[in-house]
Homo-oligomer: A and B are copies of this chain.
């Protein structure tokens, strides 16, 4: 089989580096070119010595990546992907955006939370939101994919089935998420300076995180009308992993048994969603370095509350792994190709 040429724009950020790690061992692709603004002309293995022996590519610029690749991944800050998407589209190449520019279908949400505009609305109409377990049919055949945010992935997979079945009410939903520090990126900050992050824990951007409209977009589609949630992210002193603890008022007559049966039906054939057996609780350790989303279902009968715990590796199912899963769909490959990582437990 001829290997597809893939390229990464923004390869030296954490999501870009994780993409490279996954793509290096993917059986049906080869790296066409990589780029980085901060490290242009540097060997990637000088920036990340872990790649020493695996990739001797030098970081180039965006245009070189487009030229040398048939599938282009971008891991860029919000606002920087639209022009790139346009160029890829002009050359009829696949563009998978790990940033936020193609996640929100409502431009007003983008304006409000990200402060920018959709420069080319036609591109957005051609794009799909790349959460395969929920939107697989929309993804197929597209050329532009908005790869979901890390928090939204963990939350949508946890709540969308219950929302869609109206097993929970649409108001009073509380989502308390905790993310490892790679989610904050490679750039140094006081918050992620080891002596201040280690042995610490706090919430941040309380009820003000940019992932909020993306979470609500998916839940609203599932519910069939507009849903608002309270979303509070926290920074965990670990490298990888997101755990979202999702709380929602149960609809009348619905209990843990009904919810569990529903999720078994919905996710029974999904390789990357592991619905844990009764009595188990989702944790970060068991999904680290894998593309899995582990989900556990619980109820507080005293208050009539559904509690769903959802765990992903923010760098894999929450970013690079899901991007490759989307690529597999677009290339007509089995969705799990190159992604069957066994999480290491310790």
- State the A residues within 8 Å of B (CB): 14, 17-18, 21, 24-25, 48-54, 171-172, 174, 176, 178, 180-182, 186, 188-190, 192-204, 206-207, 228-230, 232, 234, 236-241, 243, 245, 247, 249, 271, 274, 276, 280-290, 292, 298-303, 305, 307, 309, 311, 315, 340, 342-346
Most buried by B among A176, A186, A343: A176
Q: Would you list 28 pairs from A and B whose C-beta atoms are within 8 A, ordered by A residue?
A: A18-B344, A49-B280, A50-B285, A54-B342, A174-B176, A174-B305, A178-B178, A178-B234, A180-B195, A188-B188, A188-B192, A188-B193, A193-B193, A194-B198, A195-B346, A198-B198, A199-B240, A199-B288, A200-B285, A201-B243, A202-B282, A202-B311, A207-B298, A207-B299, A207-B301, A230-B307, A232-B245, A315-B346
* Other A-B pairs beyond A181-B195, A207-B298, A289-B289, 7, CB < 8 Å: A14-B195, A50-B290, A174-B176, A199-B199, A199-B238, A199-B284, A228-B302
Residues of B near A200 (CB, < 8 A) are: 238, 241, 283-285
Q: Which residues of B contact A292 (CB under 8 A)?
A: 53
Q: Are B284 and A202 in contact (CB under 8 A)?
A: yes
Q: Per a CB cutoff under 8 Å, which of B25, B182, B286, B311 touches A195?
A: B182
Q: Are A52 and B274 neighbours in the complex by a CB distance under 8 Å? A: yes
CB distance from A183 to the nearest CB of B (A): 9
Closest beta carbon of chain B to A133's beta carbon, Å: 15
Quote the shortest CB–CB distance from A27 to chain B (angstroms): 11
User: Which one, B206, B243, B315, contacts A307 given CB within 8 A?
Assistant: B206
Shortest distance between the CB of A327 and any CB in chain B (Å): 18
Contact of A17 among B21, B203, B345 (CB under 8 A): B345
Q: Which of A24, A51, A188 has the most CB of B within 10 A?
A: A188
| A315: chain B residues within 8 A (beta carbon) | 346
B194 in contact with A286 (CB, 8 Å) = no
Query: Given A178-B178, A188-B190, are A303 and B203 neighbors across the interface (CB < 8 Å)?
Result: no
A52 and B52 alpha carbons, distance in the complex (Å): 32
Among all A-B residue pairs, the 4 with the closest Cβ atoms:
A202-B283, A207-B300, A188-B188, A200-B285
